[in-house]
Amino acid sequence: MIRDRGRIKWTSMMLPEHVKLLRDWVKEDQYEQPKEVDEQQFERMNETLLEAIEFDQYVTIIHFHNHHYEMVVGKIHYWDEIAHRLHVIDHFQEVHRIPIHTIADIQLTER
């Protein structure tokens, strides 16, 4: 006979599908919501973007990707007019293709 010192051991009565749904629900609960960009901030970001392209400066771009905000620091390689995306090359020579409508903020940075 197993002696468990009077404690009742409970076993899980949940199916694996239910456990997966609960884990997905907790993960979705941590998602961030995209923020709206007003006209003044949009104009300021546009001026910063044009200055960074013209003078080949480093920028910090905060954009919404996979339900979270991400930050990319690098130089703007070029602007894709057809797909409406910025091609940014970071310090590790990785290319990031950032859709323009997901950008929350752009700032000039020092290297």
55-67 pLDDT, tens per residue? 999 999 999 999 8
Residue 54 pLDDT exceeds 70: yes
Inside any domain, residue 34: no
Q: What is the pLDDT of residue 8?
A: 42
Task: Please name the residues in contact with 81: beta carbons below 8 A apart, sequence gap of 6 or more.
Answer: none
Q: Which residues of 73-88 are buried (b: 16+ CB within 10 A; e: fewer)?
A: ebbbeeeeeeeebbbb
Tell me the C-alpha distance between 96 and 85, whole Å.
9
- Global pTM reads 0.74
Inside any domain, residue 78: yes
Number of domains in the chain: 1
Inside any domain, residue 28: no
User: How open is the CA angle 84-52-72, to the nearest 5 degrees?
Assistant: 65
Better-scored residue on pLDDT, 71 or 25: 71
- pLDDT tens-digit profile of 2-16? 555 543 443 356 677
Q: Which domain holds residue 44?
A: 39-109
Q: What is the pLDDT of residue 109?
A: 93
Tell me the C-alpha distance between 99 and 72, whole Å.
13
Give me the count of residues in the chain. 111
Question: Comparing C-alpha atoms, which of 67, 39, 65, 61 is closest to residue 107?
Answer: 61
Inside any domain, residue 30: no
Average pLDDT over residues 47-76: 93
Average pLDDT over residues 35-47: 91
Please, are residues 99 and 82 in contact by the beta-carbon 8 Å criterion? no
Inside any domain, residue 13: no
Q: What is the pLDDT of residue 62?
A: 95
Query: Which CATH number do you get for residue 56?
Result: 2.30.30.100
